[in-house]
Amino acid sequence: MIKRLELQTTSRIQLVDITAQVKGILRNEEISSGIITVYVPHTTCGVTINENADPSVKDDIIALLGKLVPAGGEYRHAEGNADAHIKASLLGSSVNVIVESGSLILGTWQGIFLAEFDGPRKRSVLIKVLPG
């Protein structure tokens, strides 16, 4: 069964730590081993795994993506959010995490982030737990 997180982002560009919510869904599934897929069904946001201990890492990621793909670039897409589409494509729309002993297998400093590039918006995160 697919579970859904509904989030409201607060800025045009932000990384939102959703690790606790994903862990909560996993607890409710009561599986001891498998894979969990975290997927965003949107074209202007993504999902990534990175450090969640030092907030400056999020700032650095956002700053570098802004330099690589500036908001005011000369894009053909007429809606004014072409940079958001490109940034979302660079990060990707899903991540998989191993589940063992009922817990996400993440590194000591790792967290799961929704990457908003065209907010603020209401966003959905779809989660599928595959026992195994």
Which segments of 38-94 does DSSP mark as H helices, in order? 55-68, 82-91
Q: Is there a cis peptide before residue 41, judged by omega within 30 degrees of 0?
A: no
Q: How far apart are CA 18 and CA 15, in angstroms?
A: 9
pLDDT tens for each residue of the chain, 132 residues long: 899 999 999 999 999 999 999 999 999 988 999 999 999 999 999 999 999 999 999 999 999 999 999 998 899 998 889 999 999 999 999 999 999 999 999 999 999 999 999 999 999 999 999 998
pLDDT of amino acid 26 = 94
pLDDT of amino acid 38 = 98
pLDDT of amino acid 73 = 87
CATH architecture of 2-131: Sandwich (2.60)
* SS3 call for 30: coil
